[in-house]
Amino acid sequence: MRYLYHLPLSPFSRKVRLLLAEKRLPFELRVEKVWERRSEYLDLNPAGTVPTLLEDGGLAIPDSSVIAEYLEEAYPDTPLLGRGHPERVEARRLAAWFDGKFHAEVTDRLLGEKYMKRLTGRGNPDAGALRAGYAALGPQLDYIGWLSETRTWLAGSAISLADFAAAAQLSALDYIGEIDWRTAPAAKEWYARVKSRPCFRGLLADRVPGITPPAHYADLDF
């Protein structure tokens, strides 16, 4: 069996769940409480982060961007990076944008301060970080809206790693009720299309102990 070590609200874990499901690769989820720094897990992934994919044959693949490249090479039937150099550069550029810039400026500040700090006993949310996160979210939603209106999907005419990287960040924030979709109609239209794909069902069925998502979280017609 293929296992994915994850945390339910980790956007990087969510990205890999979407990629696996879109490529129709069966897997089982295993929750990994990374703050416990379990030695068996550190053997699989010395960085101690989630996700880590463990293949049936024993190959352990840490880091969501490393997993994405591996899945593209090992299971090329449903290509998620495009074919030519310009398409692949653009899909990877945007995946790096959402994994890096969006996560640092928005997700880490909002989800990190409000949820992960409490979960790992690191104190109360920092008000300045929350303000900066909210200030960065608007322009990011505008950028997603602009890309999706210009190109159908974020990186071009086909759905790609870029869409899943962005949707993973947004879905984690949406679970804790941090996205006001009324302010971003173009991004909402794109997100509704991603959310309606079969690969998204697992994420929409998630329930995290102690946090009830808003009613629209799992609603395909939100």
Please identify which residue in the block is written with the tokens 């994915």. Answer: 4
Of residues 37 and 85, the one with the C-beta less far from a copy of itself: 85
Whole-angstrom Cα distance, residue 127 to residue 170? 21
Runs of H (alpha helix) within 75-207: 85-96, 108-111, 117-119, 127-151, 161-175, 185-195, 201-205
Instruction: Based on the shown chain and the rule CB under 8 A, indicate whether residue 42 belongs to the binding site for a copy of itself.
Output: no
Binding window for a copy of itself (CB under 8 A); candidates: 34-42, 96-104, 163-171, 197-205: 96-104
The binder of a copy of itself chosen from 24, 31, 86, 185 (CB under 8 A): 86
Closer of 74 and 220 to a copy of itself (Cβ): 74
**Cα(147)–Cα(152) distance, rounded to whole angstroms?**
8
Please say whether the beta carbons of 61 and 5 come within 8 A.
no
Instruction: Pick the piece of the chain touching a copy of itself (CB under 8 A) from 17-25, 88-96, 169-177, 189-197.
Output: 88-96
Q: How many helices (H) and strands (E) does the chain have?
A: 10, 4
State which residue, 73 or 221, has the beta carbon closest to a copy of itself: 73
Nearer to a copy of itself, 84 or 198 (CB): 84
Q: Which residues make Cβ contacts (< 8 Å) with residue 138, sequence separation at least 6?
A: 183, 184
Residues that bind a copy of itself (CB under 8 A): 46-47, 59, 61-63, 65-66, 69-70, 73-74, 85-86, 88-89, 92-93, 96-97, 100-101
